[in-house]
């Protein structure tokens, strides 16, 4: 099948790629653009490890075609830190031990980043609801919830 | 897990999408992609052409026309949840959308795709039955309207004709004296229903003028439990009548046994979901 040209902004930089129509966005990000922070967990749209920020919305990049990202603005976990250091959600996950094996963490971070813009001052229940598209097999979620609470406080104070 | 090869086309308007469906044999529309792409990855579906309707602005948005709410087929679950029109005039849809999948899926998945897809686990078909919705369909022969009641014919089988597109879903404003409830049992957040039941009750004083009890995931498609409705219509609803209606809901169920449970368990859970929704709807209708 003929490849198609796509062009989008990835973590602030304009990038181009040639993709087959059937190529999933997560493969383009990981294999063509070599940003392997975004993980593939289930490949069946359940786990959220592949979550990225597409035009300001959290999506599962294993369930979006790369051709659909043409002209969009994308952010992955690699785009969270800036010259000033780690992002508040990243720092909070370290402080609160919001991870064990770390496999789910990139998805958790990029989702938490967006969730705290949707709801800057969430209750615990709202955090659990807002993060429910991301599965973790290690932590039992307690420390992930704490990390999101801590990040919310930091971001509110900033 | 990658879909088999297909050609990707972008439709720019409803007319263009209908023309492209006609021009490409066995083409499928791509809406939110959160039922279709998973099926294509598993090779349960291998359409040679996908026609992406995400760029069609006329398919988006929610507007109020008199006593009718018109919802564009490409409106996402999250847009339903955040719609002020729905929060105010049809909170049943907001409640149901909050129980669909998870935040990421709700950013992509559309109400039109959920209704058109044909998985008995989809929540919106039963909600549309309970609301007595009307669908606006466009095809090569022009526009037609079809009641939700009669649209769902079986698993992956509905009244959409060849090369037709679901354009808009119309639901009535929920008025004073009308109450609704949606109960959905699921094993975990983000899962499809073990059983679900949206209910709408219209009261005339204390008397039930009309009632619609619909069921999710306990038959080949979304259904209405008409025998149960008949027990309650025209009566002052009390606990004894609710029990009789629940027995009719149980009898109406014909679920497939799977990891979510066996036939008996699912049927009993459907009856319980209906009981809860009837009680919630009654409370609301009484104001
Ligand atoms: C992890 C997960 C959990 C889920 N949980 C639930 C749940 O709890 N409840 C629930 O209801 N759903 C659930 N879903 C399904 C999800 O809501 C889908 O988004 C929805 O079923 C299909 O909508 P879509 O816009 O993604 O359509 P698509 O997947 O793009 O399309 C589905 C089908 O409908 C056709 N179609 C789409 N739009 C139209 C149109 N306008 N006119 C004619 N045909 C059209 C397509 O051609 C295709 O055949 C879940 C999905 C996932 C991945
Ligand atoms: S890899 Fe995309 S949801 Fe699991
Ligand atoms: S830390 Fe291991 S899956 Fe979440």
Per domain, the residue ranges of chain B are: 7-52, 62-172, 181-285
Same-domain status, A72 and A105: no
Q: Which residues does B217 contact at the CB level (< 8 Å), separation at least 6?
A: B120, B121, B192, B193, B194, B195, B196, B255, B260, B266
Contact B38 A63 (CB under 8 A): yes
CB burial readout A88-100, b (16+ within 10 A) else e: bbbbbbeebebbe
CB-nearest to A63 from B5, B33, B50 is B33
Cβ A100 under 6 angstroms from ligand 3: yes
Q: What is the mean predicted confidence (pLDDT) over B127-150? A: 98
Taking contacts as CB-CB distances below 8 angstroms, the residues of chain B near A133 are: 101-105, 190
Contact B41 A43 (CB under 8 A): yes
Same-domain status, A71 and A40: yes
Contact A24 B2 (CB under 8 A): yes
What is residue A50's predicted lDDT score, i.e. its pLDDT? 98
Tokens representing B235 are: 């009566």
Same-domain status, A57 and A124: no
Tokens representing B268 are: 């009993």
Same-domain status, A153 and A113: yes
Q: What is the mean predicted confidence (pLDDT) over B117-121? A: 96
Choosing among 3.40.50.300, 3.40.50.2000, 3.30.43.10, 3.40.50.150, the CATH entry for B7-52 is: 3.30.43.10
Same-domain status, A60 and A107: no
Chain A residue with CA closest to B50: the answer is A21
Q: What is the CATH number of the domain that holds A120?
A: 1.10.150.120
Tokens representing B1 are: 């897990």
Cβ A61 under 6 angstroms from ligand 3: no
Same-domain status, A62 and A94: no
Largest CA distance in chain A: 52
Chain A residue with CA closest to B37: the answer is A63
d(CA B242, CA A133): 36
- Give tens-digit pLDDT for B167-208: 999 999 999 999 999 999 999 888 999 999 999 999 999 999
B90 close to B45: Cβ distance less than 8 angstroms? no
Residue A59 CA to ligand 2 center (angstroms) comes to 10
Cβ B113 under 6 angstroms from ligand 1: yes
Fold of the domain built from segment(s) B181-285 = Enolase-like; domain 1 (3.30.390)
Q: ipTM beyond 0.95?
A: yes
The CATH class of the B62-172 domain is alpha beta
Using the predicted structure, report yes or no on whether residue A111 has a pLDDT greater than 90. Answer: yes
Q: What is the CATH number of the domain that holds A37?
A: 3.10.20.30
Same-domain status, A152 and A96: yes
On whether the pTM is more than 0.95, the answer is: yes
Using the predicted structure, report yes or no on whether residue A77 has a pLDDT greater than 80. Answer: yes
What is residue B287's predicted lDDT score, i.e. its pLDDT? 87
Cβ A119 under 6 angstroms from ligand 3: no
Q: What is the mean predicted confidence (pLDDT) over B93-110? A: 98
Contact B2 A4 (CB under 8 A): no
Contact B107 A57 (CB under 8 A): yes
Q: Which of B197, B195, B155, B174 lies closest to B90, judged by CA?
A: B174
- Residues of chain B with pLDDT > 90, as a percent, come to 98
Cβ B30 under 6 angstroms from ligand 1: yes
What is residue B12's predicted lDDT score, i.e. its pLDDT? 97
Same-domain status, A105 and A58: no
Tokens representing B168 are: 């808009």
Ligand 1, residues B20, B29, B194, B216: which to mutate, most atoms within 8 A of Cβ?
B29
Using CA positions, which residue lies closest to atom 4 of ligand 3? Answer: A136
Residue B51 pLDDT class (50, 70, 90 cuts): very high
What is residue B3's predicted lDDT score, i.e. its pLDDT? 97
Residue B22 pLDDT class (50, 70, 90 cuts): very high
Same-domain status, A62 and A92: no
Write out the residue range of the structural domain in which residue A99 sits. 88-157
Same-domain status, A70 and A94: no
Residue B97 has a CB neighbour count (10 Å cut-off) of: 27
Contact B54 A68 (CB under 8 A): yes
Q: Which residues does A158 contact at the CB level (< 8 Å), separation at least 6?
A: A88
**Measured between CB atoms, does A129 come within 8 Å of chain B?**
yes
Same-domain status, A30 and A74: yes
Residue B173 CA to ligand 3 center (angstroms) comes to 45
Contact B6 A1 (CB under 8 A): yes
Q: Which of B227, B235, B208, B233 lies closest to B271, judged by CA?
A: B227
Total domains in the fold of chain A: 2
Same-domain status, A99 and A153: yes
Using the predicted structure, report yes or no on whether residue B249 has a pLDDT greater than 80. Answer: yes
Cβ A56 under 6 angstroms from ligand 3: no
Taking contacts as CB-CB distances below 8 angstroms, the residues of chain A near B189 are: 129, 132
């Amino acid at each position: 099948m003929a490849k198609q040209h796509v062009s989008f902004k990835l973590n602030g930089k304009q990038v181009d790629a040639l993709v087959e129509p059937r190529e999933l966005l997560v493969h383009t990000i990981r294999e063509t653009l070599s940003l392997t922070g975004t993980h593939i967990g289930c490949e069946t749209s359940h786990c959220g490890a592949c979550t990225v920020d597409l035009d300001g919305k959290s999506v599962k990049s294993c369930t979006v075609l790369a051709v659909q990202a043409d002209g969009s603005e994308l952010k992955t976990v690699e785009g969270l830190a800036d010259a000033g250091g780690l992002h508040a959600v990243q720092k909070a996950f370290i402080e609160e031990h919001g991870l064990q094996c770390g496999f789910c963490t990139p998805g958790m971070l990029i989702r938490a980043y967006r969730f705290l813009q949707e709801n800057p001052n969430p209750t615990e229940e709202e955090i659990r609801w807002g993060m429910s598209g991301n599965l973790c097999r290690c932590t039992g979620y307690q420390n992930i919830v704490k990390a999101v609470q801590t990040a919310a406080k930091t971001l509110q104070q900033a | 897990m990658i879909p088999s090869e297909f050609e990707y086309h972008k439709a720019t308007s409803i007319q263009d999408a209908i023309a492209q469906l006609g021009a490409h044999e066995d083409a499928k529309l791509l809406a939110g992609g959160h039922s279709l792409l998973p099926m294509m990855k598993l090779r349960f579906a291998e359409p040679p052409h996908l026609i992406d309707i995400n760029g069609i602005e006329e398919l988006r948005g929610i507007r109020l026309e008199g006593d009718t709410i018109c919802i564009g087929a490409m409106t996402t679950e999250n847009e339903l949840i955040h719609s002020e029109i729905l929060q105010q005039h049809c909170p049943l849809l907001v409640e149901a959308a909050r129980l669909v999948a998870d935040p990421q899926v709700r950013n992509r998945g559309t109400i039109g795709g959920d209704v058109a897809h044909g998985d008995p686990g989809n929540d919106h078909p039963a909600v549309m039955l309970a609301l007595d919705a009307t669908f606006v369909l466009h095809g090569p022969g022009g526009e037609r309207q079809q009641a939700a009641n009669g649209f769902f014919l079986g698993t992956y089988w509905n009244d959409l004709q060849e090369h037709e597109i679901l354009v808009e879903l119309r639901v009535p404003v929920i008025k004073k004296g009308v109450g609704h409830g949606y109960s959905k049992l699921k094993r975990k957040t983000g899962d499809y229903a073990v059983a679900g039941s949206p209910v709408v009750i219209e009261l005339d004083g204390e008397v039930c003028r009309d009632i619609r009890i619909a069921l999710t995931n306990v038959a080949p498609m979304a259904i209405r439990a008409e025998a149960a409705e008949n027990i309650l219509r025209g009566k002052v609803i009390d606990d004894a009548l609710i029990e009789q209606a629940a027995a009719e809901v149980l009898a109406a169920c014909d679920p497939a046994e799977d990891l979510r449970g066996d036939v008996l368990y699912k049927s009993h859970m459907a009856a319980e979901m209906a009981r809860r929704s009837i009680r919630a709807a009654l409370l609301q209708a009484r104001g």
